[in-house]
A and B are shown apart, each in its own frame.
Chain A
Amino acid sequence: MSAPSDDRSLWLATRILPHEPALRRWLHGLSALDDADVDDLVQETYAVLATRASVAEIADPRAYAFQVARSLFLQGVRRAKIVSIQAVADLAELDTADDAPSPFDQAAGREDLRRLAAAIEAMPPQTRRAFQLRRVEGLSQREVAAATQLSESTVEKHIGRGIRILMAQFGRGGKAGPRASTSGERVPGTPEPNETNQKNATPDARSRDSRNYR
């Protein structure tokens, strides 16, 4: 097992990350999963997406991510890893998963960029400096070290810390920081109004879609 490739990381960044907040909201709505359960499921979802042989044939990455998360959730229920009495009762809820990207969520993708930028702004000064030199100016870590007169291992720590800050900021639906209300916050578990109806070619997706149009 090795680290995901650059191509796959880019795909995840552009196709999946923007939908992560919606995915988390949806997971939270399922049988009152707590943060830790949701974090686990999100990590496992990324693992599946990162290790697939190819993602080229995934026409609707958002729907696919929801589908993967859903099946992981069901596996969890079966293995009683994530157990709650409600979980079984709420299985019907799964059918109301919204698979179509709503304009809200697309706008949220842009909102995510803003939030990330804000998160970078809010980093401790040295971390931010290292982060910016590396990401914005495009210096290598070694060059950043030379420019900042820090050791290479210190620069590496700052980069790692910066990434960790982003993971926290992004992951918990911005609980680590302010979350803009413009990104289409909604009551967990309720379907969003679907503007578009993108078929993902699975019977599952279709039945869910039709429910959304009830």
Chain B
Amino acid sequence: MHDRETAETIDDAASEWAARIDRGLSGTEQEALDAWLAVDTRRIGALARARALWVHAERAARVESEPRQGLLNRRRLLAGGATALAATLAGVLVVPRLLGDNGELASAIGETRRVTLEDGSAVTLGPGTRLRRSFDTARRLIELVSGEAFFEVAQDARRPFVVIAGQMTMRAIESAFGVRAIEGVPLSVIVSTGKVSIGAGGAARVLEANMRLDASAPGAAARVTRLEPDALQRSLAWREGMLAFEGDTLASVAKQFDRYGAARIVIADPVLAREPITGSFAANDPRGFARAIAASLGARVAIEGDTIRLSRKPAAK
């Protein structure tokens, strides 16, 4: 035992072998490696560890080289201060971007499109939507950067389908669900079939078919509502170019019309902006929508080029 090779010495040799393996071994080298490994099991372990670190290093290097990439943006996550959330996501976050950098999907303003992914799942992108996908052998990971998307998840028990949007993580279990992550509008998830497990701020809950979850201000509890089948269809009607609302505020409704690019709706009055809106409207006809709303709310509508201005009628004196 006196001359037992130290772990350090083994590590020295293992790192050299890892570098040689990386450039490819000749036949003689392969034999030499086998002979080297055969002497002490610790050598096998050291080489395995060296190779694991080599793989690991690629990921670390990528993290540093792409500090602004949302998927691996630790700074943003940590800035949230939510350790529990960070822990929840950590398992996801350490997933390497193994597929390289072609994982981005986007739709233009006013465009709605459905894309079939390599695993057979399909995603429908609402207008002005950006998402990033990163699939590997362990996970199918999608980050909804902004916009709205509907996921039809193909079953694969060994590779969970995970969607990250804002502070939420959604894990799909053979399901179809829509996620809306539009700036200025509370994040919402609607499950059409199957189940989705939703994690936020360390807590997790399961959303079943015909349920809708609306995130609220940080710290406040999310709201879960059960939708009647027709209400569910309306909520997902954007896929067919319709916008449907169930008591959403006029301000958030206006934002959703903006994404179709036909015109911009400006609401000049804060009270009016909070009016709840219910109904279905053609997404590409904001003028028609504004007129209908003006009529029902007793508001005034002024159209100037691509800007539609809604304001309250002056109170009768």
Q: Which of B22, B41, B51, B64 has the most CB of A within 10 A?
A: B51
Bound-state CA distance A161–B87 (Å) is: 33
Min CB gap A128→B, angstroms: 10
What residues on B are CB-neighbors of A104 within 8 Å? 87
What residues on A are CB-neighbors of B33 within 8 Å? 2-3
Min CB gap B21→A, angstroms: 6
Docked-complex contact A164 and B12, CB < 8 angstroms: yes
Docked-complex contact A47 and B41, CB < 8 angstroms: yes
Name A1-21 residues within 8 Å CB distance of B: 1-4, 6-10, 12-14, 16-18
Q: Which of A49, A81, A157 has the most CB of B within 10 A?
A: A49
Q: Taking CB as reference atom, which chain A residue is nearest B46?
A: A43
Number of interface residues of A (CB under 8 A): 65
Docked-complex contact B53 and A167, CB < 8 angstroms: yes
Docked-complex contact A50 and B48, CB < 8 angstroms: yes
Interface residue stretch chosen among A25-33, A89-97, A106-114, A201-209: A106-114
Q: Is the interface of B mostly helix, strand, loop or mixed?
A: helix
Interface residue B205 (Cβ < 8 Å from any Cβ of A): no
Min CB gap B161→A, angstroms: 18
Docked-complex contact B95 and A14, CB < 8 angstroms: yes
Summed over the interface, the residue pairs from A and B with CB atoms below 8 Å come to a total of 194
What residues on B are CB-neighbors of A161 within 8 Å? 15
Docked-complex contact A110 and B83, CB < 8 angstroms: no
Bound-state CA distance A6–B22 (Å) is: 11
Bound-state CA distance A131–B64 (Å) is: 13
What residues on A are CB-neighbors of B14 within 8 Å? 167
Q: Taking CB as reference atom, which chain A residue is nearest B12?
A: A164
Interface residue B293 (Cβ < 8 Å from any Cβ of A): no
What residues on A are CB-neighbors of B45 within 8 Å? 42-50
Bound-state CA distance A17–B46 (Å) is: 12
Docked-complex contact A3 and B17, CB < 8 angstroms: yes
Docked-complex contact A136 and B94, CB < 8 angstroms: no
Docked-complex contact A13 and B52, CB < 8 angstroms: yes
Interface residue B37 (Cβ < 8 Å from any Cβ of A): yes
Interface range, B side: 35 or more
Docked-complex contact A9 and B74, CB < 8 angstroms: no
Docked-complex contact A141 and B23, CB < 8 angstroms: yes
Interface residue B8 (Cβ < 8 Å from any Cβ of A): yes
Q: Taking CB as reference atom, which chain A residue is nearest B16?
A: A160
Bound-state CA distance A157–B18 (Å) is: 11
Bound-state CA distance A16–B30 (Å) is: 26
Docked-complex contact B48 and A39, CB < 8 angstroms: no
Docked-complex contact B87 and A13, CB < 8 angstroms: no
What residues on A are CB-neighbors of B95 within 8 Å? 14
Name A139-162 residues within 8 Å CB distance of B: 140-142, 152, 156-157, 159-162
Docked-complex contact A46 and B18, CB < 8 angstroms: no
Min CB gap A81→B, angstroms: 7
Docked-complex contact B19 and A120, CB < 8 angstroms: no
What residues on A are CB-neighbors of B60 within 8 Å? 113-114, 116-117, 119-120
Interface residue B7 (Cβ < 8 Å from any Cβ of A): yes
Docked-complex contact A12 and B23, CB < 8 angstroms: no
Listed A/B pairs (28) with beta-carbon separation below 8 Å: A2-B30, A2-B33, A3-B37, A4-B44, A4-B47, A9-B54, A10-B137, A14-B95, A14-B138, A17-B56, A42-B49, A43-B7, A44-B45, A46-B45, A46-B49, A47-B41, A106-B87, A106-B91, A113-B56, A114-B74, A117-B63, A120-B61, A135-B57, A136-B65, A166-B54, A166-B57, A167-B14, A167-B50
B residues lining the A interface (CB < 8 Å): 1, 6-8, 10-12, 14-23, 30, 33-34, 37-38, 41-65, 74, 83-84, 86-87, 90-91, 93-96, 137-138
Given contacts A46-B52, A110-B86, 5 further A-B contacts (CB under 8 A): A3-B33, A107-B83, A107-B87, A107-B90, A132-B61
